[in-house]
């Protein structure tokens, strides 16, 4: 008999941990009642890693965005299905479920798996997981931003390498097949057309990646404007919005989410000021950065120290900067500059995304200057366990000392 209370308890461990490991945790929670060989959570909200996978590498490593889009199109919002679909390059029986916010869950069941057991219960559990993912993305925490930027950079690098390799090979094939010295005219034409088609598909890979991992600046700002208006619908202050130019460069997904989250944080801090009557919210895009500029008139009672503490972690993770000022009786201003590309001096910080929750706990306490014995007491484990976790931290961060690891954590705002 499946115990709902046990399911809800295990669900806590699913949503309490690094976002990039949520699929394996959810897979373990579902294994007894919904036995499966592979699990995929698909959400375009996570621009760095829209596919969150767990299960047999021979299946999950081959799953494409196009396959998931086709499955998603066949499942209505809030619905589920048990069907046969192409997944991981082969025809498989799948259980597909689409949450009301559009996030897709796909399970490859063990055995025949003709029907989804207790679909309403599975939908409820998945709804909580999907909502947790959306909230973590919307909050744009430093560890999410680091993981997302690392994944985006790695995917772009891989695509660039594939394009270069395949383009060279296909151009060589085309040159040979177009040679007048070859026989069999019809075969040459067919081969030429096939190679040309493959070349076009290869060259379109960067555009496909851009469509997945970027967001038009005006669309990102439009989404922010709706959120701010909803938040301030009962506030009497006049709000002016200055959108980025129409021809602005598209924003990397993690920058768009971070900018919205940081702007919301700033706006909430500004509205906490007494006698706030007017607020101006503006985004300005250049070729290499996004500037968020929020200012008021007259009030000038902004809590600069608290606001800086709330923004620092996100800004440092993305290599950005913050400028805050408040002059009583004159006004307050917050300016956030976010680079659109990963800078070399901040590239190492993305390694923090590879740490699991316990390693992050240990690193956080190390960054606060605490020794192993104290950390062990706070976390309720032995000192040897702390040494084991610290070894994993050093290896994943590619550093040799606690001081270097702590410096990376502090730079990313994880303290």
- Which residues have CB under 8 Å from 74's CB, separation 6+? 81, 83, 85, 96
Say if residues 346 and 412 touch (Cβ distance below 8 Å).
Answer: no
The class that CATH gives domain 214-339 is alpha beta
Percentage of residues in the chain having pLDDT higher than 70: 76
- Which residues have CB under 8 Å from 255's CB, separation 6+? 290, 318, 338, 340
Select from 3.40.190.10, 1.10.10.10, 3.30.300.30, 2.40.50.140 the CATH code of 355-411. 1.10.10.10
| Cα–Cα distance for residue pair 23/108, rounded to 1 Å | 14
Say if residues 302 and 326 touch (Cβ distance below 8 Å).
Answer: yes
State the pLDDT at residue 226.
Answer: 92
pLDDT beyond 90 at 133: no
Radius of gyration of the chain (CA): 25
Mean pLDDT of the chain: 81
The class that CATH gives domain 4-139 is alpha beta
State the pLDDT at residue 3.
Answer: 63
pLDDT beyond 80 at 63: yes
State the pLDDT at residue 94.
Answer: 93
2 DSSP 8-state letter: -
pTM: 0.56
């Amino acid at each position: 008999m499946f115990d709902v209370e046990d399911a809800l308890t295990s669900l806590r461990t699913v949503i309490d941990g690094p976002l990039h490991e949520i699929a394996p945790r959810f897979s373990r929670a579902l294994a007894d009642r919904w036995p499966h060989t592979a699990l995929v959570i698909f959400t375009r909200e996570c621009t760095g890693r829209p596919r969150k996978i767990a299960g047999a590498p021979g299946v999950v490593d081959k799953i494409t965005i196009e396959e998931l889009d086709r499955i998603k199109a066949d499942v209505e919002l809030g619905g589920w299905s048990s069907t046969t679909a192409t997944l991981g390059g082969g025809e498989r029986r799948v259980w597909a479920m689409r949450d009301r916010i559009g996030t897709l869950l796909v399970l490859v069941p063990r055995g025949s798996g003709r029907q989804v057991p207790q679909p309403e219960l599975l939908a409820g559990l998945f709804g909580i997981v999907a909502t947790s993912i959306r909230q973590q993305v919307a909050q744009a925490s430093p560890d999410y931003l680091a993981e997302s930027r690392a994944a985006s950079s790695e995917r772009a690098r891989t695509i660039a390498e594939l394009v270069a390799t395949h383009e060279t090979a296909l151009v060589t094939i085309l040159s040979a097949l177009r040679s007048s010295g070859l026989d069999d005219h019809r075969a040459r034409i067919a081969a030429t057309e096939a190679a040309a088609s493959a070349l076009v598909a290869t060259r379109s890979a960067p555009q496909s990646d851009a469509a997945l991992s970027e967001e038009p600046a005006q669309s990102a700002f439009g989404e922010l404007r709706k959120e701010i208006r909803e938040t301030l619908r009962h506030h009497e202050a006049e709000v002016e919005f200055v959108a980025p130019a129409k021809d602005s460069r598209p924003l990397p997904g993690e920058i768009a989410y971070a900018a919205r989250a940081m702007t919301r944080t700033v706006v909430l801090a500004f509205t906490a000021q007494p006698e706030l009557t007017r607020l101006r919210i503006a985004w300005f895009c250049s070729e290499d950065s996004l500037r968020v500029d929020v200012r008021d008139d007259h009030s000038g009672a902004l809590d600069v120290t608290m606001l800086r503490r709330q923004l620092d972690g996100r800004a440092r993770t993305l290599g950005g900067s913050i400028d805050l000022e408040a002059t009583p009786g004159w006004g307050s201003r917050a300016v956030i500059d976010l680079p659109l590309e990963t800078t070399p001096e901040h590239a190492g910080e993305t390694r923090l995304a590879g740490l699991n929750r316990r390693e992050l706990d240990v690193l956080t306490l190390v960054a606060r200057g605490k020794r192993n014995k104290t950390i062990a007491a706070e976390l309720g484990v032995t000192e040897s366990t702390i040494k084991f976790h610290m070894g994993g931290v050093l290896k994943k961060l590619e550093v040799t000392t606690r001081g270097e690891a702590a410096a990376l954590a502090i730079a990313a705002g994880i303290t």
